[in-house]
Structure 1
Amino acid sequence: MGDDTPRRDIDERTVTNVFNAEVNHGLVIQTGTFDGDVHVHTPPGRSPEQDAAMTELKRRLEAQERAEREAGLRREQERRRRRRNQELAGELQAREDRVRPIRTLAPAAFTVLAFVLLLVGNFSFLSYAGIFVCFTCAAVARYAPTSVLEEFLGKK
């Protein structure tokens, strides 16, 4: 009887009622003329199994909410870490770009100077020492830390 249309199989003197789920806020008792006892039954209380199931459900929902909050925090920390790493990488690249001319030109210049000393020198101790100094300077220019070269260039 879920619709509000009148039933044709009941005569006009009979009272009919239609209940639907739209406005049911709890227990509904409707009476008319009746003979005998009236028994009203309410839903039974929860069993220990139902209580345990509700407790478990609550625990799982709380754990899920906690995991979602922690995942959000981890994502935020990871995003900040990545941004910090990108900023550091950009700064290191800028520092490396400032000393790139020294790293590329100085070793070549010192190597050429060493060969000139070798060709022009009289094979004395002084010319060999000059050649050693040239190769040492070339190695320093090529492999020295960026901070040392920046200090040398005065670009810090």
Structure 2
Amino acid sequence: MTSQSEIAALLRRVRRLEETEAARNHLHRYAEALDDPVPEAVAALFTEDGALHTRLGGRPGRTMAGREAIAAFYRERGAADPAEKRHFIVSPRTTWVEPGVVEIASYFLFTARADDASVIGWGTYRDRLRVDGDTALFTDKIIDLHVGTDLAQGWARS
């Protein structure tokens, strides 16, 4: 016969698995939203008070707090670089922090195609998500861009 504590432990494990999977699926929604960027749609992937932090090679960059500021950031980036892009998220490592909170560390790759250049880049994401049932939203997202280069320039050590 199964004890109440065994049932409680099983329910906790199932919740952990369901919440980490909901959070991991949210990463796919984010990459998909960036491929056809509508700034408000990207910002809607964050909680109302969510924060987006950008870094370049580990150095602090900018922080945008709240959906309005996040949408403005993506609007600005889209205007500055209208190239067609594709985003890929790889090797996500999930950590279930507590009920309703999941952290994910992952790598990202992107390709871009403009009229006169092809670009490739990569970096890391550090995400904290709030999960409620099947719904996950970013509370914090750190984007650390390691490399973004035109294919003609390449990735030389110099």
TM range (shorter): under 0.3
Normalized per residue, the structure richer in helix is 1
Q: From the CA coordinates, give the structure whose radius of gyration is larger.
A: 1
Normalised to the residue count of structure 1, the TM-score between the two structures is 0.25
Q: Which has the higher contact order (CA 8 A, sep 6+)?
A: 2
